[in-house]
Amino acid sequence: MKASIVSVCAAAVGLVSAQTPDGFTPSVATHLDVTFGSKAVSPAGTSLAKEETAKLPTIGFAAANATETYLFVMIDLDVPSGTTRNTLLHAMIQDFKVGSGGATTLTSAATSPASYMGPAPPKENPAHPHHYVEVLFVQPAGFAVPASQASVVKSRIGFKLADFATAAHLGEPVAANYFMVTG
């Protein structure tokens, strides 16, 4: 009985700490605060209406460092592509810094390298929720989109986060979150 309770508690902790969907690489345990208007994405995996997600969210995280600059990336993991699913880059915005709204809020005046594009999943039968993953990296000094990644960032379709992170020398993400929208 005691072993069963311990197993259940360990499983619950794992569910609470997962800030990225099952199978997503890289897996991230640190929660990225994502808020659309007054609607916080909490817990990770919350379902939202596409109207609620039309504008760039406010982001932040508890361990934000005032001396760091951050890169925000948002990806749809579930874009229909024939009989399979593909990815779509919804945002890649650089130069986030700790803002005046509090020690954990991050702000940026930048809109590049890929401006925010709100979720607009198509209606599907049967309905298929799209997973929108938000990932935050420490932005290296002198950051620029690597030449090998420029075309996929521009086209947005087929964006592979792990490939981009490696090419751009981003290191591991510092925080993440995700939400779902169904067309």
**7 or 30, greater pLDDT:** 30
Q: Does pTM surpass 0.85? A: yes
- For residue 82, give the CATH number of its domain: 3.90.280.10
Q: Which two tokens stand for residue 123?
A: 């209606």
Beta bridge partners of 33: 60
pLDDT at residue 87 greater than cutoff 50: yes
Domain count, the chain: 1
The values of phi and psi at residue 148, to 5°, are: -70, -15
**10 or 172, greater pLDDT:** 172
DSSP 3-state assignment of 79?
strand
| Torsion-angle region of 157 (φ positive above 0: left; ψ -120 to 50: alpha; else: beta) | beta
Q: What pLDDT score was predicted for residue 17? A: 65
* The length of the chain, given as a count of residues: 183
Which residue has 């208007």 as its token pair?
Answer: 37
pLDDT at residue 10 greater than cutoff 60: no
Q: What pLDDT score was predicted for residue 13? A: 39
Pairing of strands 129-138, 84-98: unpaired
Percent of the chain with pLDDT over 70: 89
Which among 181, 143, 182 is positioned nearest to 165, based on CA atoms? Answer: 143
Which among 15, 46, 42 is positioned nearest to 29, based on CA atoms? Answer: 15
CA distance 139 to 173: 10
Which residue has 């591991």 as its token pair?
Answer: 172
Range of the domain at 153: 2-182
CA distance 178 to 30: 12
pLDDT at residue 5 greater than cutoff 80: no
CA distance 16 to 72: 22
